[in-house]
Structure 1
Amino acid sequence: MPLSRREFLSVLAAAAAAGFPLDREASAAQARSLYDVPRYGNVHLLHMTDCHAQLLPVYFREPSVNLGLGAAEGQLPHVVGAPLLKRLGLRPGSREAHAFTSLDFERLARRYGKVGGFAHLATLVQRLKASRPGALLLDGGDTWQGSATALWTQGQDMVEAAKLLGVDVMTGHWEFTYGMERVSQLVERELAGHIDFIAQNVKTADFGDPVFKPFVMKQVNGVDVAIIGQAFPYTPIANPRWLMPDWTFGIQEAELQRLVQQVREQGAQAVVLLSHNGMDVDLKLASRVSGIDVILGGHTHDGMPVPVTVRHEGGQTLVTNAGSNGKFLGVLDLDVRGKRVAGVRYRLLPVFADLLPADTRMATYIDKLREPYAAKLAQPLAVTEGLLWRRGNFNGSFDQLILDAMMDVRGAEIAFSPGFRWGTTLLPGETITREHLMDQTAITYPWCTLTEMSGEAIKTVLEDVADNLFNPDPYYQQGGDMVRVGGLTYTCDPRAAAGRRILDMRLAGTPIEAGKKYKVAGWAPVSEAARDSGPPIWEVVESWLAQHKTVAPRQLNQPRLLGVDGNPGLA
C-alpha cells in the first residue's frame, strides 16, 4: 500500500530515532522540504531514465566536463560545477549542490551518503503517487543493462523490479543489446499487461512495419494523454548491428510529426514524447516537430534541474532529462484545460537513500534476487586509494584503470575504451568488488581485442569519435562521450572542422607516425567479425587487480584542449 504523508514522515522520524544515518540537515523536516512536492494541475507524470540496472544505492559523480559549443555553449545541460550552482542559486556544499555537480564530491558523498536504489526509489514513487491520483511512471530506457545480475539474467531481474516499482510505460536503447529474440520475448511475455514498451522509430527492415507499439493513449483524471516512444535512434551504430539485424532505427522526424497529428486527431489533449535521443537531439527535434507538449528525455544522463523551453511556429515544447543510475526522479504536473496544456510544474528530485526508507517489498525482492550471486558479487579484488568514477567528455579514473589494465595485461602500447556514460563511483579506501567491476563492464559484447593499427588509422578513430561528440549538428551526435585513451597523448580542438580536431598525437613523447604500426588494445567491438576475439574485459581487469591489490590514484590521460577557456561546461 502507498505511504500516506503522515506515515512517510513517521517512518523517517522513527529511522532517525533508531540511528538511521541522518545528519543534522537530513532530518524529517528536510525530507519533507525536499520530497513533499505540492500537487498541481490534473495530469501527473513521474519520469526515470538510464538507471542501468542499479538496484542498490550507489555513489555517482556528475561530470566536471560537459562541453557545449556554438549555440549550446552556456546552455543547459552544458553548464557544470560552480557556474551551474550560480545559475540555479544553490548553496555550495548543500545536498542539492552535491546532487547536481561534482564539486567537493568525496567529502560530500561521505556526508550525504549514497543515492538511488530501487527500494528507496519505490518509497518515493509511492509517496508521490499517493499525493497524485492517476499518476503514471514513465521509464526512458537503459534499464535492463549495466550490472552483473542484469547481464547474468538477461534483463529478467530488471523487468521484475520495474513491474514491482510500478512502471507504466517505457522505451529502450541498451535493452536491444540482448538481441532481437530476447527483447521480443521480454516485451511480449513479461511486460504484457504490466508495462507498455513503445518506440515509434523501430521498424522491420523488410517492409517497414512497426516492431513495437508507437504510442499509448492514457487517460489521467479524465484527460487523454498520448505518450509516444522514441528509442535511441543510433542503436545499430553505437552498438552491434548483428544483435538486431532485422530492425531499423533512426530519428524519423517526418513520421513522428505525422504521428503527433494522428494522436491529436484521436483526441489527445496532451502529447508527451518519451525519448532516448539525448538532450541536444531532443532540443533540435523540439524545434522542428510541432504539437509535442513535453519531451521527457534520456540517454545523455543529464540531470536537468530545470527544463528547457523550446519555442517554435506551433507553440512551445518543454524538454528535460532525468539523470541516471536511479539518482533522480522527475515530477511533471500539467494543468490541461480546453484540450491544451495551460500550465506546467516540474521538479527533478534527487533520491537520497538516507532520507528515504527502503520499501519492504522491493527490498525483499532485491535480497532474494541477489542471494544466488551474493558470494560472487562480493568477491574482493583490490582496494582503491583514489576516487574511481566514470562520467564526462574525457577519461574518468575508472576508465583509466581499465585502460592501464588492458595495456599491462595485453602488452599493448595504446588502449582504447568506449566513452560509456554508465558506471558507478567508488570512494577512496573502498574495496573494489567483482560487482563494482561489472558495473563498468557488463555488456553482451565484452571481448578485449589486440590489433596492430597504423598511426593514420588511430587518428581516424579519434577524429570520428570527436566528430560524433562535437559536431555542431546534434543529429550527427551518435553515441557516448569521447573514446578513452591510454598510452597515447594528444591535443583536441573541439571547435575545429571535422577531421581537424585531433593534433599532436604522441607516444612516450615521440610523435605518432602515420605509416607506423602500433599495438592497440580495446574492448566492446561492434563488428560481428570481432565476436569472441579476445577474453572478456572483466577477466582482463580482474587479473590486473589481482596483481596489484592496492590501486593507487590514477593519472588521467586527458587531452590538451584548445579554444575552450572559460567554457561553463568545463569545471
Structure 2
Amino acid sequence: MLRAVDIFHFNDFHRHLGTFGDGSGGAARLASLADRERAEHPGSVIVNVGDNAGDNAVPSPNAFDPLADIFDAMGIELVALGNHELEDPTGNYASLRTGFIEPFDGQVLCANATVTETGSPLPGTKPYTIMEINGVDVAFIGVVTRDLELAMFPSAGAGLTLASPEETLKELVPKVRREGADAVVVLAHEGLKEAESLASRVRGIDAILAGHDHRTTPEPVMVPSPGGGTTAVAEAGGYGQQLGHLRLQVDTARRRVVSVEGRMIPVSADLPADPEIQRIVDAYPGTQHVEKPAARHRWERVGSFAELAARLQGDRAANQSPAGGSKHEETTS
C-alpha cells in the first residue's frame, strides 16, 4: 500500500522574526504559510534544520528568545542543532539548554555531538527519533557540521566531541532500519554539497534536508545512492524566506520509498500574519526589519579566531583600529 509522507522544512532562521522591507518573510507569515500547507496535507510534519540563534548572540542568556514559544505555536516537532547553537564560549551550553531545549515541546536532534567527559548526547538532545506519519514509520537523524573554524567564538564546540557525520550515519541508518523505520530522513546542518556527498556515500538514506550554507533547491537534487536507487537532497535557503515541502511516497508493505518530489514555497508579502505569532514577535524588543533579503554568501577562511584575537590584542595595545579576520563574496548562485 502506498502512503504519502509530507515533510515541511526550513533552516538557518537566525532568529529573523520580523519581515523584510518588502513585507516578505518573518515568523508570523512563515507560520501562516505552514498552517495553510499542513491543513492541505493532514498528518504532515514540520521540521527545522538548525542555526536558529542569531549570528553573534549565543552567549547571551536570551540568545534564543522567543524561539521556543514561536516553534511550539507553529507545531514544529523536530529541530536539528546547527553550528551557531554550539558557539558558546562557556562550554556549558546553558543558554541553549535553558533558552531553547528545555522550554521547547518538540525534540532536538544531534547524533554526532557528544559530551566529551561522558560520551553522552548533549543534555536534552537525542541522536534520532522514529515517528509515525500517516501510517508510515519515519526515522529522523540529526547531524551537524564539524567545521567550526568560522565560528564567532574560539571555544565553539568546547566540551563536545564532534564525530564524522558520515561515520555516524553509517552506524545509525542500519540501526533505525532494524528498529522498524520504513523511511529514513536526515536533518543535516552540513551545507548542500556536503549533504550531496553524504547521500552518495551512505547507504539507506531516503532524503537529506540540508542547512548551513543558505542555498535553495527549487526541487530536490536526486543523488545516486551506493546501495542503488537515489537519495533526495533539499535545502530551503535561510532567514525564513521559504518553506520547503518534501513528499515521500512509501510502499509500507515493502518498507521502501518509491518516489520523492518537492518544492519551495516563498513566504510572500501577501500572506496573512498569524496573529498568535505576531503577538509574540511584537512583544520581543529585538525584532528587526531589513530592506531586502540577505544575499547568499560564499565564505572563505583567511584565518582562525585565535589569530584574529591575537591581532585584536596587539591592535588595542598599539591603539590601532583592527581589521576583520574573514571575508565573504556575495553570489547569486
Deviations 1:409-439 (A, max 9, x none): xxxxxxx9999xxxxxxxxxxxxxxxxxxxx
Q: Report the Cα offset of residue 162 of structure 1.
A: 1.5
Distance 1:255 1:127, change over 3 A: same
* Identity value in percent: 29
Counterpart mapping for 1:515-534 below 5 A:
521-523=322-324
Query: Could you tell me which residue of structure 2 aligns to residue 325 of structure 1?
Result: 239
Corresponding residue to 1:175 among 68, 71, 85: 85
CA contact (8 A) 1:446 1:523 kept: no
**2:217 alignment partner AA:** M
Report 1:23-172 matches (<5 A): 41-58=3-20, 113-146=22-55, 153-172=62-81
1:396-435 alignment, distance < 5 Å:
none
> Is 1:367 matched with 2:282?
yes
Larger Rg computed on CA atoms? 1
Report if the CA contact (8 A) 1:446-1:524 is conserved.
no
Match runs of 1:546-561 below 5 Å: none
What's the TM-score, normalizing by structure 1?
Answer: 0.50
Q: Which residue of 2 aligns with 1:31?
A: none
* 1:298 matched to 2:207: no
Change in Cα spacing, 1:197 to 1:522, as seen in structure 2 (3 Å) is: farther
Per-residue CA shift, 1:54-99, capped at 9, x if unaligned? 011115xxxxxxxxxxxxxxxxxxxxxxxxxxxxxxxxxxxxxxxx
Kindly provide the amino acid, as one letter, of the partner of residue 175 in structure 1: E
Shift of residue 356 of structure 1? 0.4
Separation (CA, whole Å) in 2 of partners of 1:335 and 1:389: 34
Distance 2:40 2:275 in 1: 20
What is the CA–CA distance in structure 1 between the aligned matches of 2:60 and 2:196, rounded to whole Å? 32
- How far the C-alpha of 1:522 sits from its partner, in A, is 3.5
Q: Secondary structure at the match of 1:190?
A: coil
Structure with the larger helix share: 1
1:361 is displaced (CA, Å) by 0.8
Residue 299 of structure 1, CA deviation: 0.3
Report 1 or 2 for greater relative contact order, CA contacts < 8 Å, sequence distance ≥ 6.
Answer: 2
Give the drift of 1:150: 10
**Contact conserved, 1:450 with 1:521, CA < 8 A, in 2?**
no
Give CA-to-partner distance per residue, 1:84-134, whole Å, 9 cap, x none. Answer: xxxxxxxxxxxxxxxxxxxxxxxxxxxxx3321111111110011111111
Q: Alignment RMSD, CA only? A: 3.5
Task: Identify if the C-alpha distance between structure 1 residues 279 and 115 changes in structure 2 by more than 3 Å, giving closer, same or farther.
Answer: same
State the AA in 1 paired with 2:53.
Answer: W
Unpaired stretches in structure 2, ≥5 consecutive residues: none
Q: Distance in 2 between matches of 1:126 and 1:228?
A: 24
CA distance in 2, matches of 1:121, 1:323: 13
Whole-Å Cα distance in 1 between the matches of residues 303 and 79 of structure 2?
26
The answer on whether the counterparts of 2:115 and 2:160 sit within 8 Å (CA) in structure 1 is: yes
What is the rounded CA distance, in whole Å, between the counterparts of 1:274 and 1:245 in structure 2?
A: 22
Distance verdict in 2 for CA 1:334–1:570, change over 3 Å:
closer
| C-alpha contact (below 8 Å) 1:306/1:347 kept by paired residues | yes
- Indicate conservation of the 8 Å contact 1:309/1:317, yes or no: yes
Pair 1:346-2:262 in alignment: yes
**Runs of at least 5 residues in structure 1 that lack an aligned partner in the other structure:** 1-39, 60-112, 379-383, 396-415, 420-444, 453-518, 526-555, 560-568
For 2:311 and 2:62, the matched residues in 1 are separated by 22
Contact 1:145 1:151 in 2 (8 A): no
Shift, 1:523, TM fit? 4.9
Read off the aligned partner of 2:111 and give its amino acid letter: Q
Structure 1 runs (4+) greater than 4 angstroms displaced: 147-152, 387-390, 416-419, 445-448, 556-559
Offset at 1:308? 1.1
Contact map agreement 1:144 1:155 (CA 8 A) in 2: yes
Q: CA deviation at 1:292?
A: 0.4
1:316 alignment counterpart = 230
Q: CA deviation at 1:273?
A: 0.2
Which residue of the partner structure matches residue 182 of structure 2?
Answer: 269
SS in 2 for 1:369: coil
User: What is the CA distance between 1:318 and its match in structure 2?
Assistant: 0.7
Residue 343 of structure 1 aligns to a residue whose secondary structure is: strand
What is the rounded CA distance, in whole Å, between the counterparts of 1:149 and 1:238 in structure 2? Answer: 15
Would the aligned equivalents of 1:120 and 1:357 in 2 still touch at CA under 8 Å?
Answer: yes
User: How far apart are the structure 1 equivalents of 2:13 and 2:244?
Assistant: 13
The structure-2 alpha-carbon separation of the partners of 1:388 and 1:207, relative to structure 1 and needing over 3 Å to count, comes to: closer
**Contact persistence 1:335–1:343 (CA under 8 A):** yes
**Amino acid of the structure 2 residue aligned with 1:368:** A
Shift of 1:392: 3.0
Specify which structure has the higher proportion of strand: 2
AA aligned to 1:361 is E
Q: Is the 8 A contact 2:43 2:134 kept in 1?
A: yes
- 2:106 corresponds to which residue? 195
Question: CA distance change for structure 1 residues 205 and 259 in 2, over 3 Å: closer, same or farther?
Answer: same
CA drift at 1:152: 7.0
TM-score where L is the length of structure 2:
0.83
Kindly indicate whether the alpha-carbon contact (under 8 Å) linking 1:150 and 1:157 is maintained by their aligned counterparts in 2: no
Partner of 1:185: 98
Cα distance, 1:351–1:150 mapped onto 2, change above 3 Å: farther
The Cα of 1:334 is off from its aligned counterpart by 1.1
Closer/same/farther in 2, CA of residues 449 and 344 from structure 1, 3 Å limit: same
- 1:327 alignment partner AA: Q
CA separation of 1:447/1:336 partners in 2, compared to 1, >3 Å: closer, same or farther? farther
Could you say what secondary structure the match of 1:160 adopts? Answer: helix
Q: Which residue of 2 aligns with 1:66?
A: none
* Change beyond 3 A, Cα 1:234–1:343: same
Matched length: 314
